[in-house]
Structure 1
Amino acid sequence: MSFTKDATLYALENTAKLWNRRQGLHVDWYEAWHPALTAALAELPPMGGYSPGLFRAIAENQQHAHSRFALVSERNVAVAVVGLREHGFHWELITQWILPGALFPAQPGHELGALAALGLDVGVAWWRMGMLPPAHPWRRDLTVTPTFGTELTGDHEQHWRASGLFKSVRKARNACSDFTFSVNAPGAAAWTIRQWADKWMDESAIMRQEVSDRILVADDLATQGRHFALQLCDGSMPVAGATLFAHGDAAVAGVIYRDPTYDRRGVGTRMIDLSFAWARDAGFAFLDMGGGHAYKEKWAPPWGERRQFRICPPHLNAAKHALHAVRTHIRQGG
């Protein structure tokens, strides 16, 4: 028993047509950026407060992964412009995890409806969106992850003392006292992102695409004072780096990397320590460390949540569950 990709795509298209008829939505698909998408961006509000040019730049940067673009409209009025890339047996947004508070350009409140109109299985990261994701009958597999952060207007080091971290922070400050610290040095963002990816990510096309997109976003937002690359150097050699976004009055952690040959000097600890100090001195009221890693709880208390879920039509969801059951049965020797 097998499910071919062509058969799956055929079923997806039929589902999209049925949903569109029910909702009055129309979807035009494009395999590359198209003037119709540019025109639609002019009708839509900025995505999460970012410029329309940034979304288009990310869309046109999709060189390593299979991507598609959808113009969702209602009675010839643009509802959303959605950028997707294929990731295994599902799709994900081209902005996934690289822009806080942004999915794609859309009329307010129409994001999930627009995704449902596509008739695909789409993974969504709901991150610093300013509201809970709205209910939707096709929303599935919701997972909630705690995030950690702290106010910078008070004594953020008090939490480090309570968590037992401050001794390591003080030791790292002494051990790294002869290193130089800089912000937005030429090439610093790209160095940190690439080193982070080499350490934690695989060599798949989708991961190469994410690295390229992160660098593009960093370079674009840095010109607006909305992205910062912090770097620690031993002489002229970088030994640790971190990226931060400006999102409202918060500094939001991006990626972080440390050279493991300098672990004895505590460069990773020092880099995070400097991130707090720099963000405070730069006038940010809050530092959002994100979630997903236990070590963050030592640096900051829990303060919020991030969410992930899928928008997937019923028939496709049922087919995927059936396929999973068949594969499990085969693996178990059935």
Structure 2
Amino acid sequence: MLVWLAEWLTQFEPSFNVFSYLTMRSILSILTALLISLYFGPKLIRYLQRMQIGQTVRDDGPESHFSKSGTPTMGGLLILAAIVASSVLWADLSNKYVLVTLFVVISYGVIGFVDDYRKVIRKDSKGLIARWKYFWQSAIAITVAAYLFFTAQQPEETALVVPFFKDVLPQLGALYLLVAYFTIVGTSNAVNLTDGLDGLAIVPTVMVAGALAIFAYMTGNANFSEYLNIPYIPQTSELVIVCTAIIGAGLGFLWFNTYPAQVFMGDVGSLALGATLGVIAVLVRQELVLFIMGGVFVMETISVILQVGSYKLRGQRIFRMAPIHHHYELKGWPEPRVIVRFWIISLMLVLVGLATLKIR
């Protein structure tokens, strides 16, 4: 929005042209989202406390979590508001990739909001019925995938980038729909499963968003994409603004979510953030790299799948508790140790993902 205003003001004062630069707008996007989160965070927490919108803790969970019962939740509203506001202010709203991403942010946020609302306000411990949650996640993901597939204007937009291989760029054709669907829905649920400890999900999300910002910038730049031998997709560089908004909003939320947390993001935050990372990876054609960089999310998801599968097939559990961060808690690791070690693993995996830009 402010991009258009700056363009108009440039005819009167050339110095306003500075706001057309992507790097400047990226910095302003981070700062805007960060300041929104820091300013409105305490207000939201007080409101949630006053309305008694608190977290319900599982009876079979680690005993150390019982003290978390009643901690304000649905703090993801703060994250999403900061992301959307910052993106609207500093991104080019005529860019279809920005609009698609904001649609995913808001629509998955609505799904998470309904789920949280039923759990913490209506006191329905089940929240949104699982099949309906999955149905709406799927409907939105399929709609987005179909739109991107049928509006693609060049082959690179539907090709699969294989990390570490220079000349491997297979055309997916209709399989693009399947890849995009599983990337969006899978990442959404993976981040949701990871969000079980204070700050555990938000920091890897910020790291991955930062890396995707780099991928988006390189993919949307003809010179860099040719040099790095990655697909050149015009206008994807504008996604940098959304990625930096995620970084700012995430860091602002971490101010209140760090151990011991004053607020939890809830499904309204985790489902939306995961889906957003997924759709950005689809747009810049880095689904497989997202699988690497989001390794912590993948590990958490696989631990749940293995746990459920093993119990149903053999009647035995592999882990003391799933997702796997609870397993380490029950082994005696203090919560901060689990959190920081998972952060370190995330940083390492993000660096590996970034290395794929050059190692091919």
TM-score bin, normalised by smaller chain: under 0.3
TM normalised by structure 2 equals 0.25
Q: Which of the pair has more CA radius of gyration?
A: 1
Could you say which structure has the higher helix fraction?
2
**Larger relative contact order (CA 8 Å, sep ≥ 6):** 2
Could you say which structure has the higher strand fraction?
1
